[in-house]
């Protein structure tokens, strides 16, 4: 594997960030192209930054190296930043909706993108056995210290779903996963393959106004996270074998003092998965 010139990479990335911040998107795009040439695995997320500026193609997902690096760097302060500073409360919303709908308890729960264990901790008394998956080893280490999960894996969510041959789950959660994915079919198919018939798939997504999405199924928003159109989410769930129990409008988090709109989705696996192209 080609060794990365760290000094040249840092110079190009910092230059790209400065140009992007100044509003010179064309020059920033050229600088980010230099970044990608130096670091094809894209630890700094140049591809999603290009897409957020409207330059280049929208990637199918955020690069694994970028997501890993991002969360490894923030593992120790993750909960303070996300919960206290950004007002993130999706796991609590999940619990509230499950209780309001009379759903649960569950025998086997899979927590995709488990992070430091916010969702696992919030639902701990509602599931007999919880498995957590996260790309960030540092996040998994923090979750492990809390002793919330029976099993923890460092893995990419879709890869785990594709490779898993353990018994199926009756609940799969993904409370901060979709903002790092564009195309949803791989995740939804993987969830269907790992759920019992009648099992629940619960996840959050971010969205943008219809005039901003402009007919697109998904796009990278101004804060380098993916936003999805509700119609696209509904369509792909139906195509991959899910019936929608409930879709709620939520505020996912605060960003620069403004609410980030999104959806909390509860879907039930029909026991079939046939994509209608």
Tens-digit pLDDT profile for residues 131-190: 999 999 999 999 999 999 999 999 999 999 999 999 999 999 999 999 999 999 999 999
Residue 260 resides in a domain: yes
Q: Average pLDDT in the 118-123 region?
A: 97
3-class SS of residue 189: helix
Average pLDDT over residues 223-235: 97
**CA-CA distances (angstroms) from residue 242 to 65, 195, 233, 275?**
31, 11, 11, 11
Examine residue 129 and state whether it is found in any structural domain, yes or no.
Answer: yes
Mean pLDDT within 38-42: 94
Same domain, 97 and 160: yes
CB 263 within 8 Å of CB 275: no
The CATH number given to whatever domain includes residue 175 is 3.40.50.150
DSSP SS3 for 171: strand
How many whole angstroms separate alpha carbon 232 and alpha carbon 239?
10
**Confidence at residue 272, expressed as pLDDT on a 0 to 100 scale:** 56
Q: Is 183 helix (H, G, I), strand (E, B) or coil?
A: coil
Indicate whether 249 pLDDT > 80: yes
List, as one string, the DSSP characters of 81-95. IIIIIT---HHHHHH
Per-residue pLDDT band at 83 (split at 50, 70, 90): confident
- 277, part of any domain: no
Say how many C-beta atoms besides its own lie within 10 A of residue 46's C-beta: 26
- Residue 86 reports pLDDT greater than 90: no
pLDDT tens digits for range 91-106? 999 999 999 999 999 9
Residue in 182, 206, 180, 159 with CA at minimum distance from that of residue 69: 180
Report DSSP letters for 223-246, one per residue: TS-EEE-HHHHHHHHHHTTEEEEE
Task: Report pLDDT for 6.
Answer: 86
| Averaged pLDDT score across all residues of the chain | 93
When pLDDT is cut at 50, 70 and 90, the band that residue 81 belongs to is confident
My answer on whether 211 and 249 are in the same domain is yes
**pLDDT at residue 270 tops 60:** yes
* Residue scoring higher pLDDT (240 or 222): 240
Same domain, 194 and 97: yes
85 and 222 co-located in one domain: yes
Q: What is the pLDDT of residues 186-206, one digit of tens each?
A: 999 999 999 999 999 999 999
Residues 107 and 202 in one domain: yes
Q: What is the pLDDT of residue 276?
A: 43
Please give the model's pTM, rounded to 2 decimal places: 0.93
Is residue 68 in some structural domain?
no
Separation of CA 240 from chain center: 19
| Burial class of residue 217 (count of CB atoms within 10 Å of its CB; 0-12, 13-18, 19+) | middle
14, 36, 61: which is the final residue of a domain?
A: 61
In a domain, 274, yes or no: no
Are 161 and 239 members of one domain? yes
pLDDT at residue 80 is higher than 70:
yes
Confidence of residue 2 (pLDDT cuts 50, 70, 90): low
pLDDT at position 274, please?
45
Name the residue range of residue 19's domain: 6-61
| Beta-strand runs (E) in 119-209 | 127-134, 151-154, 169-174, 195-206
Residue 84 pLDDT class (50, 70, 90 cuts):
confident
Average pLDDT over residues 249-253: 96
Task: Please tell me whether residues 103 and 206 are part of one structural domain.
Answer: yes
- Number of domains comprising the chain: 2
91 belongs to a structural domain: yes
Position 12 in a domain? yes
State whether 91 and 24 are in the same domain. Answer: no
Taking the C-alpha atoms of residue 128 and residue 149, their distance in angstroms, rounded to an integer, is 10
- The pLDDT value recorded for residue 251 is 96
In a domain, 71, yes or no: no
Do 33 and 136 sit in the same domain of this protein?
A: no
Same domain, 20 and 153: no
Q: Is residue 111 within 8 Å of residue 149, measured between CB atoms?
A: yes
- End-to-end alpha carbon distance in the chain: 38
Shared domain check, 225 and 94: yes
Q: Is the pLDDT of residue 275 over 60?
A: no
Q: What is the pLDDT of residues 41-51, one digit of tens each?
A: 999 999 999 99
* Same domain assignment for residues 57 and 82: no
């Amino acid at each position: 594997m080609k060794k990365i010139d760290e000094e040249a990479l840092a110079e190009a990335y910092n230059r790209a960030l400065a140009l992007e911040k100044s509003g010179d998107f064309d020059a920033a795009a050229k600088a980010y192209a230099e970044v990608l040439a130096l670091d094809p695995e894209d630890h700094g997320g140049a591809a999603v930054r290009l897409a957020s500026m409207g330059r280049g193609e929208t990637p199918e997902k955020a690069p694994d190296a970028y997501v890993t690096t991002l969360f490894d760097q923030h593992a120790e302060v993750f909960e303070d930043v996300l919960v206290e500073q950004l007002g993130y409360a999706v796991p609590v919303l999940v619990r509230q909706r499950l209780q309001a709908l009379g759903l649960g308890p569950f025998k086997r729960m899979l927590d995709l993108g488990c992070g430091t264990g916010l969702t696992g901790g919030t639902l701990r008394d509602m599931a007999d056995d919880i498995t957590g998956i996260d790309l960030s080893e540092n996040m998994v280490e923090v979750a492990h210290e809390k002793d919330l999960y029976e099993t923890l894996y460092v893995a990419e969510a879709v890869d785990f779903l594709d490779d898993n041959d353990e018994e199926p789950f009756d609940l799969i959660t993904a409370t901060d996963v979709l903002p790092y994915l564009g195309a949803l079919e791989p995740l939804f198919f993987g969830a269907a393959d790992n759920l019992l018939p009648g099992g629940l798939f619960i996840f959050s997504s971010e969205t943008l106004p219809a005039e901003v999405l402009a007919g697109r199924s998904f796009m990278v928003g101004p804060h380098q996270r993916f936003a999805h159109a509700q119609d696209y989410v509904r369509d792909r769930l139906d195509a991959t074998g899910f019936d929608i129990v409930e879709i709620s409008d939520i505020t996912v988090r605060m960003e620069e003092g403004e609410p980030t709109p999104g959806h909390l989705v509860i879907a039930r696996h029909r026991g079939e998965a046939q994509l209608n192209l």
